[in-house]
């Protein structure tokens, strides 16, 4: 390349996410091409997440504040670009410029830099992360059924996921699609109305949490995959926590009773991970659950940890987690996202890179998952274009790695 890779201008516009809500798309213009990024939004969010601003304001902030500052800047260092973005914002939670504005620019810059270096995006992310091997593909955790804020609210838990245990990503995706389709058939035979949730999963008025798990395993059995699957649960417990108790299956449970409920599920079903099992400030209950069943299941922090180093440190001090949900828009820049992953790994935690309830067709998190060596990725159901964009990108990466 004749001249050093430089940012020429940055444009932004409003687009719609998978829920039909407005979000932002950033177009980073360089001296060697244009690079786009679009930003998702959470439906169930943690209190300590970075703050999004109104989309019109986000677009204005990109074009009038961020673009002039980054114009003619070299794309050599993601850390330097993100440092500039953080300093421009001046707040702890990105509330001045908006995490949506900042992240769009951060992702687009990351994409552009990878192209300027003539390496795949996941490899560039791995270089930024330093010492993290990038040749491992994450296991997909497919969202099969949703309750809570994402789906049918009679079921408190938010996501019921299936993790196929095949050797390749391609085989896991095929198994996931097959079971998802079979589950749809079973639900349509048993219930009057079956809908799609915000993440493309199935949802209907099932009576109990155990019934949902039984139906998912029935679908796995009918496709000949029952012995090859594990279950992951995103309880998102802050969403059904009220007045010191948790509403589960129509009953109000104390935190101790909810802990016993989880223990029963783990004893009866092939559950390998539980995400946000308790209210997002209850580090102690997370810790007690980890103490009692942590040898059998991973305890993931999401609303608890919000991809934030300070919260991850708190969770480690309290022995609350063995896994981190990694979501770039919870923290706002790619550098901070990678730092969160590295910190969690230094504590021996597993990483699950995650989509959001309101998604776009941007597939960045697929490369992120490989780049930081994440053990898992969840991008919703193996359906709808916004969710499949990430899974399809992982298929491409698997092919690239095999052909190296």
DSSP letter, residue 52: P
Q: At what angle are helices 99-116 and 334-346 packed, to 10 degrees? A: 90
Q: How far apart are CA 289 and CA 294, in angstroms?
A: 7
Element housing 323 (H / E): strand 323-326
47 annotated binding-site participant:
no
For residue 298, which of 346, 262, 255 has the smallest C-alpha distance? 262
330 annotated binding-site participant:
no
Residue 67 vs residues 9, 73, 79, 84, 335: alpha-carbon distances, Å: 6, 10, 17, 11, 19
Q: How far apart are CA 368 and CA 374, in angstroms?
A: 8
234 annotated binding-site participant:
yes
251 annotated binding-site participant:
no
Q: Are strands 298-301 and 323-326 parallel, antiparallel or unpaired?
A: parallel
The CA radius of gyration of the chain, in Å to the nearest whole number, is 21
Element housing 132 (H / E): none
302 annotated binding-site participant:
yes
Residue 13 vs residues 6, 16, 54, 59, 336: alpha-carbon distances, Å: 22, 10, 12, 6, 24
The helix/strand/coil state of 298 is strand
127 annotated binding-site participant:
no
Paired tokens of 373: 């060596």
Q: How far apart are CA 307 and CA 321, in angstroms?
A: 13
356 annotated binding-site participant:
yes
Would you name the residues annotated as active-site residues?
A: 199, 327
The annotation places the binding site for Mg(2+) at: 234, 275, 302
The annotation places the binding site at: 158, 234, 275, 302, 327, 356, 378
């Amino acid at each position: 390349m004749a001249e050093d890779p430089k940012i020429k201008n940055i444009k932004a516009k409003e687009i719609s996410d998978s829920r039909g809500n407005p979000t932002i798309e950033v177009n980073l213009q360089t001296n060697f091409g244009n690079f786009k990024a679009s930003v998702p939004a959470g439906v169930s969010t943690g209190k300590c997440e970075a703050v999004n601003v109104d989309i019109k304001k986000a677009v204005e902030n990109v074009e009038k504040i961020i673009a002039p500052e980054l114009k003619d800047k070299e794309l050599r260092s993601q850390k330097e670009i993100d440092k500039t973005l953080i300093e421009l914002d001046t707040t702890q939670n990105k509330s001045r410029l908006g995490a949506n504005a900042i992240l769009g620019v951060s992702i687009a810059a990351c994409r552009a830099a990878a192209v300027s270096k003539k390496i795949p995006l996941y490899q560039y992310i791995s270089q930024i992360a330093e010492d993290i091997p990038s040749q491992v593909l994450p296991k997909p955790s497919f969202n099969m059924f949703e309750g809570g804020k994402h789906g049918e609210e009679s079921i408190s838990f938010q996501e019921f996921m299936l993790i196929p245990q095949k050797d390749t990503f391609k085989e896991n995706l095929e198994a996931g699609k097959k079971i998802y389709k079979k589950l749809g058939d079973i639900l349509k035979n048993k219930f009057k109305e079956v809908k799609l949730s915000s993440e493309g999963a199935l949802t209907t008025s099932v009576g109990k949490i155990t019934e949902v798990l039984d139906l998912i395993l029935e679908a796995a059995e009918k496709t000949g995959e029952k012995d090859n699957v594990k279950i992951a649960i995103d309880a998102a417990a802050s969403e059904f926590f009220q007045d010191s108790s948790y509403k589960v299956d129509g009953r109000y449970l104390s935190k101790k009773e909810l802990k016993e409920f989880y223990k029963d599920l783990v004893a009866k079903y092939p559950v390998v991970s539980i995400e946000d099992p308790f209210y997002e400030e209850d580090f102690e209950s997370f810790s007690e659950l980890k103490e009692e069943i942590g040898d059998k299941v991973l305890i993931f922090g999401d609303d608890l940890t919000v991809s934030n180093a300070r919260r991850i440190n708190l969770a480690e001090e309290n022995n609350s987690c063995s896994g981190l949900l990694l979501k770039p828009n919870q923290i706002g820049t790619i550098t901070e996202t990678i730092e969160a992953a590295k910190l969690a790994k230094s504590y021996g935690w597993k990483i699950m890179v995650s989509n959001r309830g309101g998604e776009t067709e941007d597939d960045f998190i697929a490369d992120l998952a490989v780049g930081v060596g994440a053990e898992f990725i969840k991008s919703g159901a193996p359906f709808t274009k916004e969710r499949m964009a990430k899974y399809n990108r992982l298929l491409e990466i698997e092919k690239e790695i095999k052909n190296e």
